Amino acid sequence: MTLDVKYFRGSVAAVHSVLKHSSCPENVYFHFVASKNKDFQELRQMVKSIFPSLSYKVYSFNEFRVKKLISSSIRQALDNPLNYARTYLAEIIQPCIERVIYLDSDVVLVDDIQKLWSISLTGSRIIGAPEYCQANFRTYFTNNFWSDPKLSNVFQGKKPCYFNTGVMVMDLGKWRKGDYTVKIEKWMKIQKEKRIYELGSLPPFMLVFGGEIEGIDHRWNQHGLGGDNLVNSCRTLHPGPVSLLHWSGKGKPWVRLDKGNPCPVDLLWMPYDLYRLSSIDSFDDQERRAMI
């Protein structure tokens, strides 16, 4: 997971949810990635203070590695360099780590993460994620892309489907051997020249891995709960069982709760919000002192 000041409350809730539903929480190790800036030490201390028994490491991410490759997208939050850290996990995390689960900061689990970890990545598959083949894949790329056979032929012979990069099982060993960071950066350089997509870090992943994803049950990414990328709208859960809730989109549950206008689905996030729980405890302490 990544850590930054703006989404830290979400990250804490996500960690809390993983630990709460894990059959063996002592077996879960967290790899946090934070930008190498003035907030780095404070974020590391905050994790230690909130989760004193947590097994984890905080890695620094040099934003300058990716800043020059980022093109503006339809939502400013998607242009944050830390949003691209998932592209560099194989370099950031020590080489002895060959498999990880990547999670966005706006998720909570309501199931045992061991079940997600146990999913097999068959053959040459490097990424496992839920796929959504009913989505119109063409809309994720511009006419500049589809009208140029040299570019669009990347999908020739494949059946690519949309997938969300906020929840991924990743084989970092295969990633390193195939030098996939360079392959993603290649598409980001083309984007700077020809504007072949509108969304931040997602399209380069689809260009490299589209049609070669290990499909995972949709229960592991009930995404879109934050509305779309432009409108903070309320969404309902997709039909079927749920193991992970994902507030992808513009709206975040902690923001809507603080403003007093939460969506119904945001109430499912509340039990994992340690900030709210600590505020309630603090208020109760004040009330008790006032009564004495």
Give pLDDT, residue 27.
95
Distance CA(146)–CA(152), nearest Å, equals 5
**DSSP state letter for 286:** H
**DSSP state letter for 83:** G
Give pLDDT, residue 282.
42
Distance CA(165)–CA(89), nearest Å, equals 13
Give pLDDT, residue 108.
98
Distance CA(33)–CA(43), nearest Å, equals 10
Distance CA(203)–CA(223), nearest Å, equals 17
| Residue whose tokens read 């059959």 | 23
Structure-block tokens of residue 51 = 């989760």
**DSSP calls for 202-225:** HHHHHHHHTT--EE--GGG-B--T
pLDDT digit string (tens) for the chain, length 292 residues? 999 999 999 999 999 999 999 999 999 999 999 999 999 999 999 999 999 999 999 999 999 989 999 887 666 666 789 999 999 999 999 999 999 999 999 999 999 999 999 999 999 999 999 999 998 999 999 999 999 999 999 999 999 999 999 999 999 999 999 999 999 999 999 999 999 998 788 999 999 999 999 999 999 999 999 987 677 789 999 889 999 999 998 899 999 999 999 999 999 999 999 987 665 444 344 433 443 3
How many residues in total does the chain contain? 292
Distance CA(38)–CA(41), nearest Å, equals 7
pTM: predicted TM-score of the whole model, two decimal places: 0.91
Q: Is 228 left (phi over 0), alpha (psi -120 to 50) or beta?
A: beta
Q: Do residues 222 and 238 touch, judged by C-beta distance below 8 A?
A: yes
Q: What angle do CA 181, 186, 190 make, to 5 degrees?
A: 150
SS3 content of the chain, % helix, strand, coil (to 5): 45, 15, 40
Q: Do residues 162 and 206 touch, judged by C-beta distance below 8 A?
A: yes
Q: Is 157 left (phi over 0), alpha (psi -120 to 50) or beta?
A: left
Distance CA(195)–CA(141), nearest Å, equals 9
Pairing of strands 99-103, 127-129: unpaired
Give pLDDT, residue 290.
40
| Residue whose tokens read 């994902």 | 246
Q: Do residues 30 and 59 touch, judged by C-beta distance below 8 A?
A: no
Helix crossing, 40-50 with 8-21: angle to 10°? 30
Grouping H, G, I as helix, E, B as strand and the rest as coil, residue 116 is helix
Give pLDDT, residue 284.
43
Grouping H, G, I as helix, E, B as strand and the rest as coil, residue 161 is coil
Give pLDDT, residue 288.
34
First to last CA, the chain: 44
Give pLDDT, residue 191.
94
